[in-house]
Structure 1
Amino acid sequence: MLGTVVTALTLSGCGPKAPKEPPLEEKISKVVEEAVKLKLKDPDSAQFRNVYVKKILTEENSYAVCGELNAKNSMGGYVGFKPFLAFASTKENEVKAGDTYLDDNECSTKYPR
């Protein structure tokens, strides 16, 4: 009898678990990266690095996304990593990309880590 109770208690925690939601910053970053790709001649060539998300304190549910982007130009060559700045907003756990600025050198000044 005791073995049955122990087995039942052990198995009660073994049900399927709901998939874990990625952190909000990760969701924002992915949505913005897809929006940035839409501005490129070769979206599949996009390489991102040093991407970070910064909450804009003066606007509710608004974020700035800064990072570096490398992509191919119309000649098919990579141009080298250049800074970018993009904006995103959230509403009810939904992320929407906003304006995107490529080759923006002021991102780290305006929105430091």
Structure 2
Amino acid sequence: MKKVLLILALVSLVGCKPSAEKAVELGKSEVAADVRDPDSVKFRYLRFIQGEDSPDGAIVGYVCGQINAKNGFGAYEGFSPFLMKISMKSKGTFSKGVTYSVTEKKIYTRFSDPVPASYKDNCGPDE
């Protein structure tokens, strides 16, 4: 009987909330889609900063990091910070898939300029 209860408990956890790794994966694909050469994109300092859960059970937070991609001349431009606000919700109890929506996406293209306060407030320092 105990084994049956243990198995049922483990099965019920299979499709729980989306993970931070899934958020970062979705963030990378969304941000890469906005550059001239998506195949050339390099990322660093990637992280997911989780906010409060929404009333409908979705996980809301920011995917932050730095991106470097090739420009029109084929040269890398240098790393620039980016942030993307994402809301994710599991598709179902036994599904690893998620439905998501992006409500804010910003790539700060001039890294030599001071990073805006909104980036630092939402993402913290890059490490």
Work out whether the TM-score is over 0.5.
yes
| Root mean square deviation of aligned Cα | 2.3
Structure with higher Rg: it is 1
Query: Residues of 2 paired with 1:96 and 1:53: CA distance?
Result: 14
* Superposed displacement of residue 96, structure 1: 1.9
Equivalent of residue 73 in structure 1, options 66, 71, 77? 71
Unaligned runs of 5+ in 1: 1-19
Runs of 4+ in 1 over 6 A off after TM superposition: none
Name the TM-score, length of structure 1 as normaliser: 0.71
Determine the structure 1 residue equivalent to 2:105. Answer: 100
Equivalent of residue 63 in structure 1, options 40, 61, 74? 61
Which range moves more in the overlay, 63-72 or 97-106? 97-106
* Superposed displacement of residue 92, structure 1: 1.8
Unaligned runs of 5+ in 2: 1-13, 92-97, 110-114
* Superposed displacement of residue 110, structure 1: 2.6
1:112 has 2:112 as partner:
no
Which amino acid in structure 1 is aligned with residue 121 of structure 2? T
* Superposed displacement of residue 86, structure 1: 0.6
> Using a 3 Å threshold, how does the CA distance of structure 1 residues 78 and 32 change in structure 2: closer, same or farther?
same
In the alignment of these two chains, the number of paired residues is 92
| Percentage of pairs with the same residue | 28
